[in-house]
Amino acid sequence: MNCNDVRKYLYAFLDDELDVEKNIEVLGHSNICCGCGRRMEKERLLQKRVRETVCEVKAPAYLEQMILKRTEEKPNFFISVVKKLMSERRLVSLAGIAAAIIMTVYFFAIPGNLKKDDFLYLAESKYHDYMMMPQLDLDIRSQDQEVIVEYLRKQTNSSIVLPEIRDNAKLIGAAMSEINGVKVSQVFYMHDGTPVSLMIICKPDSGSEDSKNVDFSGMKEILVDEKVVYYDDKGFCGHCKIMGWKEFGNEYVVVSKLNSDEMIKILKKA
Amino acid sequence: MSQKRKLLVHIDALYRSALYLTKNENSADDLVQETYLKAFKSLQDDKEIRNVKAWLFRILMNTFINKYRKDKREPSLVDFDSVEAFHESIQEEVVAPSILDGESVLETLVDDDIKMALKALPDDFRMVILLSTVEGFSYKEISKIVNCPVGTVMSRIYRGRKMLKEKLAGYAQKYGFK
């Protein structure tokens, strides 16, 4: 193990997250390398200072009493009425109305918002694997577009036409995941040493035949109603962000992509 | 000891995190109260809770994210453009040793410098630093608390500590260190 390796494992070592073997290697190196040993000591000291400074804060004495008092409070009038309603025969009709509201909200309002978070986590997770390893965990590795398209067709029951990409980008493979029963495929390209992914999300209700036709062939940018859509200009950790978001008749959603404007940079102009 | 009392032994830990997250004593009070009210409510379900402290922190973090970030329209997510790739940052540090490596620099900094530097971090980074450095949770526990992959937790810890050092280095310069 050399100084660079120790630097890489420094925090994991200090946080006691390394396995025994790596732990011994880091210790061994820092014993013989003054620079690394000193850096480690400084880092340990800094963490200790942070810990001690934050731990000086104590909860005010009244807070515990306040919490206990609030737990003993009687429910307010509104809650009492709701409870009364729920305990009587109206329960069945109320449950029916509630279910209808939930279904409406689920299908017309909530899915996009909830899934955006899930998809971002997924995108982020793959991207971080690449940052940490650095290696992409792909289910299929191929530069052949037809091979990837066929693989996606089998996995998602969707006929997918991938976008045309510029010569300085290359297809490297695809990975499949599932979030709450929704299949998500990530098609990965490499551009300027950076992985770029196009996420294709398919609803779980697909039949045995090709039920969808997802066509990216003319795509320059992600468009919704002929306007370029940027969902957000920031990501969960700074490495990933959703570039665009589009729903097609509530059947599938397209999300693109992670790092800066890479997805747009690699697309050929239609 | 009653179940409620068992949960309340963690009140100091929850409060200090709440204070550093919200940066406001009144909001910290509210956040901790809300956390405990939710926790007590869950206790009624007779669910078995293996790691009480981690479970309480998960409620606290979720409440913070849902309530306080919504209030602020999620401003604290990390600005993408200001954060370079994680991999690059490791390389950078090789050629850019910190001013904090110097003799007695750290000793010169006062607690207020550390408090300020911590509070100046973006929420996501401050959260993982509080959970790892202060509360001593494992990366796996933190990933469950903040609901993101372990790789992301590692990256945030790395970047957060680096940012913290950069901020402290800035304060050290004011004391005349170069």
Which string of DSSP letters, residue by residue, matches B80-122?
GGG---HHHHHHHHHH---GGGSTTHHHHS-HHHHHHHHHTS-
Cβ distance A208 to A225 under 8 Å? no
Same domain, B52 and B87: no
Same domain, B88 and B56: no
Residues of A in Cβ contact (< 8 Å) with B129: 50
Range of the domain at A103: 61-108
Tell me the C-alpha distance between B15 and A117, whole Å: 27
Asked whether the beta carbons of residue B134 and residue A54 sit closer than 8 angstroms, the reply is: yes
Nearest Cα neighbor of B57 from B9, B14, B3, B12 is B14
Same domain, A157 and A256: yes
Same domain, A66 and A155: no
- For the stretch A63-102, pLDDT in tens is 888 888 877 765 555 555 555 555 555 555 666 666 666 5
For residue A61, the 8-state DSSP code is: H
Tell me the C-alpha distance between A268 and A260, whole Å: 17
Single residue among B27, B53, B71 that ends a domain in this structure: B71
Residues of A in Cβ contact (< 8 Å) with B168: 46
- For the stretch A210-234, pLDDT in tens is 445 555 544 434 444 444 433 333 3
In chain B, how many domains are there? 2
For chain B, say whether A241 makes contact (Cβ under 8 Å).
yes
Asked whether the beta carbons of residue A260 and residue B80 sit closer than 8 angstroms, the reply is: yes
Same domain, B105 and B42: no
Greater pLDDT, A220 or B170: B170
For residue A263, the 8-state DSSP code is: H
Range of the domain at B103: 80-174
Same domain, B67 and B84: no
The 3-state DSSP class for residue A83 equals: helix
Same domain, A19 and A119: no
For residue A190, the cross-strand partners are: A170, A195
Same domain, A166 and A226: yes
Helix, strand, coil shares, percent, chain A, to 5: 45, 20, 30
- For the stretch B19-72, pLDDT in tens is 999 888 888 999 999 999 988 888 776 667 788 899 999 999 988 888 776 444
Query: Which tokens in the block code for residue A172?
Result: 């490297």
Asked whether the beta carbons of residue A51 and residue B85 sit closer than 8 angstroms, the reply is: no
Please return the burial class of B14, using the count of CB atoms within 10 Å of its CB with bins 0-12, 13-18 and 19+: buried
* Sheet with A182-191: strands ordered across: A140-141, A169-179, A182-191, A194-202, A252-256, A244-248
* B160-171 residues labelled b (16+ CB within 10 A) or e (exposed): bbbbbbebbbeb
Nearest Cα neighbor of A202 from A193, A190, A210 is A210
Residues A106-119: what's their mean pLDDT? Answer: 45
The CA angle A263-A265-A266, to the nearest 5 degrees, is 70
Same domain, A88 and A162: no
Tell me which chain B residue has its CA closest to the CA of residue A242: B80
Q: How many CB atoms lie within 10 A of CB A234?
A: 19
For chain A, say whether B89 makes contact (Cβ under 8 Å).
no
Tell me which chain A residue has its CA closest to the CA of residue B40: A71
Same domain, B166 and B96: yes
- Please give the ipTM for the structure prediction: 0.82
Tell me which chain B residue has its CA closest to the CA of residue A241: B80
The CA angle B64-A109-A78, to the nearest 5 degrees, is 65
Same domain, B97 and B168: yes
Q: Scan for tokens 């869950």, then name that residue.
A: B42
Q: How far is B157 from chain A (nearest CA, A)?
A: 8
Same domain, B40 and B98: no
Single residue among B26, B51, B71 that ends a domain in this structure: B71
The 3-state DSSP class for residue B164 equals: helix
Tell me the C-alpha distance between A243 and A222, whole Å: 7
Residues of B in Cβ contact (< 8 Å) with A136: none
Interface of A with B in 55-84 (CB under 8 A): 55-60, 63-64, 66-68, 70-71
Tell me the C-alpha distance between B97 and B100, whole Å: 8
Checking if the pLDDT of A130 tops 70, the result is no
Residues of A in Cβ contact (< 8 Å) with B86: 128, 131-132, 239
Tell me the C-alpha distance between B119 and B56, whole Å: 22
- For the stretch A11-24, pLDDT in tens is 888 898 888 888 89
Interface of B with A in 27-56 (CB under 8 A): 29, 32-33, 36-37, 40
Q: Which of B106, B154, B158 sits opposite A49 (nearest CB)?
A: B106
Length of chain B: 178
Asked whether the beta carbons of residue A128 and residue B152 sit closer than 8 angstroms, the reply is: yes
CATH number for the domain harbouring residue B122 = 1.10.10.10
How many interchain CB pairs under 8 A, A with B?
154
CATH number for the domain harbouring residue B46 = 1.10.1740.10
Helical H segments across chain A, by residue range: 3-14, 20-32, 34-55, 61-72, 77-87, 91-108, 110-132, 145-156, 262-266
The CA angle A19-A20-A25, to the nearest 5 degrees, is 100
- For the stretch B109-167, pLDDT in tens is 778 888 989 999 988 899 999 999 999 999 999 998 988 888 888 888 988 998 898 88
- For the stretch A136-172, pLDDT in tens is 677 888 888 889 888 888 877 767 777 777 787 888 8
Interface of A with B in 151-210 (CB under 8 A): none
